[in-house]
Amino acid sequence: MFRDNALKAKIARGEPTLGVWLQMSEPSIAEIASLVGYDCLILDNEHGFASLDTTVHMMRAAQAGNATCMVRCPGSDGDYMKRVLDAGAEALMIPMVESAEEARAIVDACRYPPQGRRGYSAPTVRASGYGAAPDYAKRANENLLICLQLESHTAVAEAEAIAAVDGVDLVFIGVADLSGSLGLLEQPGEAKVTAQINAAEAAIRKAGKPMGTIPRPGHSLTDLVAEGYSFVAGLADAYLIRAGMQADVEAFRAGVGSGSK
- What is the chain's pLDDT, residue by residue, as a tens digit (261 residues)? 799 999 999 999 999 999 999 999 999 999 999 999 999 999 999 999 999 999 999 999 999 999 999 999 999 999 999 999 999 999 999 999 999 999 999 999 999 999 999 999 999 999 999 999 999 999 999 999 999 999 999 999 999 999 999 999 999 999 999 999 999 999 999 999 999 999 999 999 999 999 999 999 999 999 999 999 999 999 999 999 999 999 999 999 999 986 554
| Residue 1: per-residue pLDDT | 75
Q: What is the largest CA-CA distance in the chain?
A: 77
CB 217 within 8 A of CB 189: yes
| Residue 104: per-residue pLDDT | 98
| Residue 258: per-residue pLDDT | 65
Instruction: Return the CATH fold of 6-259.
Output: TIM Barrel (3.20.20)
Distance of CA 7 to the CA centre of its chain: 11
47 is catalytic: yes
Residue 106 amino acid letter: I
Per annotation, catalytic residue among 47, 57, 153, 219: 47
Q: Angle, nearest 10°, between helix axes 78-87 and 52-62? A: 40
| Residue 259: per-residue pLDDT | 57
| Residue 71: per-residue pLDDT | 98
pTM (two decimals): 0.96
Distance of CA 10 to the CA centre of its chain: 15
